[in-house]
Structure 1
Amino acid sequence: MEKIALITDSTSDLSNSTIERYNIKVLHYRIIYKDKEFIDKVTITPEYVYDNLDKEIPTSSMPSMSEMEDLFTNLEKENYTHAIVVTLSAGLTGFYNGVKLVSENHPKIKTYIFDSKSISLGEGFIVTNCAKLIEKGVSFDEIVRTIPIVRSKIDLFFVVGTLEYLKKGGRIGKVAGTIGELLNIKPIVSIDNNDGKYYTYDKVRGRKKSLSRLVEIANGILDKKKCKLCIVHGHALEDSKKIFDSIKNHKNVTSAIFGGALSPVGGVHSGPGLVGLVLFEEE
């Protein structure tokens, strides 16, 4: 009899109710200031990050090896036979490799680690889909075969207030920064399906046009297929609600979720002003 554990990290931005309902195991990033360290979504809020960016831009680190080790040890004690791990894009973090190393120390648990090549609720959609399949009693091997198909149905785009924080955090990827900032060029950013790094999907001049372009992109996708819609934000509540209201009534939106704020560690790297769009294609 298979007993499958489902594991992700705190950047997947799942609600507490979803985590509790499906018994999802969450490993937490660390946010590090000069004189203190916080656990993402446990001992720090997004508001704390944004309120203190003018004083200090913290660094971050992936979930600790000891936290991962403790989790797998507990899974063995609880007689789990299998584990599925969905990670933040490996193009942005070392977490994928870290959890792979730890899982190899626990051969009693057959573990599959999937690089989401996504962030926030793009990653979260994959986790939730896995959770529903586990709840239905679908086999480990069948779920593993399904996950890449689920990933292929996700479209994710975002705009930021400034590229400063992506640059400082080393997460700029293939998004050109300095000259664009001077000309007030606002890139529409997505994630490359091959290397999992950020790239410029499109670019316009000015904040207002960037938000309008986000709506255009969403409508262009929705004109062709039915999708779940989700909007998230990083210290941009008003703008994100406007975008949500502009898209949610499209005839091909099957359900609309206002996901709220990014995880604190997401805020560290994106800075204030992020509006994120996630679409999940439905059959």
Structure 2
Amino acid sequence: MKKIAVVTDSACDLSSKTIEEYGIYQIPLKIIYKNAEYLDKVTISSKEMYARLNQEVPTTSLPDVEYAQGVIQSIIDEGYTDILVVCISTQLSGTLNSLKIICEEYTNVNFYFIDSKTLGYPEGVVAVEVAKYVKAGLSIEEILNKVPGIQKRLHGYINVDSLDHLIKGGRLSKTAGAVGTILNFKPIIGIDHEKGILYSESKPRGRKKAFSELIDILKNVLKRSKCEVWVLTGDADSEAKDFYNQIKDFEGITQISIEEIGAAMGIHTGPGVVGLVILEAEK
């Protein structure tokens, strides 16, 4: 009889509580400073990373091989026969291919790799939905066939307070960044779940306008479906709470919570980020 495990990388930004609740295994990305390396969510937290950003902006790297091997071996030791590996978009990271190489040495278990075609908490939503299907007793084939449907129902956006880290990360030119800063742009960045790439949804001037646009996006989705909703905070707890309070009583929201953007994702967006993740109900 098959016993199926779900594995994801730490870019998923799931809380430890959610990881435990759905029995998901997590492999951390590496956070690299000039004089030290850390494992995302294992030896460094997002709050610790944000606190040090003024001194040094670290980089991210592929999962630690030894740690990943330990996770895979522990899954095998627990008697699992099949492993579903949900990863950050292959258009944005080499994590999936890296884990494929690591897993090649384990021939006594079957691996199935899922490109979430997203990143951050939306990736976590894909992992949780896959884990729910496992708990419901669906077959591997049935679960894999349902993944495109999850991606189609999923919407993810972040509102960036400062353009500095997008410029440093090469996601925005210095010229465009300078203009955007002068004009007080607070861009809303979305994820294309068909192509697995980021895109600019809009460039509102000021956070109040940005929140208004995010609310309009949510309302439009709620017109066609009931939804689960997550508000994200990247070192912007007060603003995220304010945004949460503005939307929490909307009709059609079946659950809503505030979640934290992890270190691996927060490095690229910087502090002061508020996000919105929406999952339409499965029809």
With structure 2 as the length reference, what TM-score do the two structures score? 0.92
3-state secondary structure, aligned to 2:186: strand
3-state SS, counterpart of residue 240 of structure 1 = helix
- C-alpha displacement at 1:69, in angstroms? 2.9
Q: CA deviation at 1:237?
A: 0.9
User: 1:17-56: per-residue Cα shift (whole Å, max 9, x none)?
Assistant: 2222332110001111112221111111222212211111
Amino acid at match of 2:77: K
**Post-superposition offset of 1:178:** 4.1
Q: Could you tell me the percent identity over the aligned residues?
A: 37
- SS of the aligned residue for 2:106 comes to coil
CA distance in structure 1 between the aligned counterparts of 2:172 and 2:262, rounded to whole angstroms:
18
- Whether 1:264 aligns to 2:263 is yes
Matched position secondary structure for 1:73? helix
Q: Match of 1:182?
A: 182
1:108 aligns to what? Answer: 108
Residues 1:200 and 1:65: Cα distance change in structure 2 (over 3 Å): same
Aligned pairs, number: 280
2:60 is matched with 60
Give the C-alpha shift of residue 2 in structure 1. Answer: 0.5
Could you give the per-residue CA deviations for residues 233-252 of structure 1, whole angstroms, max 9, x where no partner exists? Answer: 10111111111111121111
Unaligned 5+ runs, structure 1:
none
Mapped to 2, the partners of 1:88 and 1:111 lie a distance apart of: 16
Farther off after superposition, 268-277 or 135-144: 135-144
> For 2:120 and 2:11, how far apart are their aligned partners in 1?
5
Per the alignment, residue 229 of structure 1 pairs with 229
Query: Which residue does the alignment assign to 1:278?
Result: 277
| 2:271 counterpart letter in structure 1 | P
Query: How far off is 1:180 after superposition?
Result: 2.2
- Counterparts in 2 of 1:207 and 1:236: CA distance versus 1, 3 Å: same
With 25-34 and 119-128 compared, the bigger mean Cα shift is at 119-128
The answer to whether the 8 A contact 2:155-2:191 is kept is: no
* Aligned-residue RMSD, C-alpha: 1.9
Alpha-carbon contact 1:158-1:214 (below 8 Å) kept? no
Q: Distance in 2 between matches of 1:172 and 1:20?
A: 37
Give distance in 1, aligned partners of 2:53 and 2:233: 17
3-state SS, counterpart of residue 118 of structure 1: coil
CA distance in 2, matches of 1:70, 1:169: 31
**1:192 lines up with 2:192 in the alignment:** yes
**CA offsets, 1:162-181, max 9 Å, x none?**
122123234559xx644323
1:145 corresponds to 2:145: yes
CA distance in 1, matches of 2:231, 2:97: 29
1:117-149: per-residue Cα shift (whole Å, max 9, x none)? 222221111111111221222211211111221
Match of 2:162 in 1: 162
Check whether the contact 2:234–2:273 (CA below 8 A) recurs between aligned residues: yes
SS where residue 132 of structure 1 aligns? helix
Distance in 2 between the 1:153 and 1:178 partners? Answer: 35
Residue pairs, 1:17-96, within 5 angstroms: 17-96=17-96
* SS of equivalent to 1:185: coil
* Residue type of the alignment partner of 1:93: S
Tell me the distance in 1 between the aligned counterparts of 2:277 and 2:41. Answer: 21
SS of 2:123 mapped into structure 1: helix
2:8 partner SS: strand
For residues 109 and 219 of structure 1, the distance between their equivalents in structure 2, rounded to whole angstroms, comes to: 44
Distance across 2 between alignment mates of 1:193 and 1:172: 21
Secondary structure of 1:204 counterpart: coil
Per-residue Cα deviation, 1:180-202 (whole angstroms, up to 9, x for no partner): 23322222110123432211111
Look up the SS of the partner of 1:241 in the other structure. helix
Partner SS, residue 50 of structure 1: helix
Identify which range, 242-251 or 70-79, moves more after superposition. 70-79
- Could you tell me how far apart the structure 1 residues matched to 2:11 and 2:274 are? 15
Q: Which amino acid aligns with 1:223?
A: K
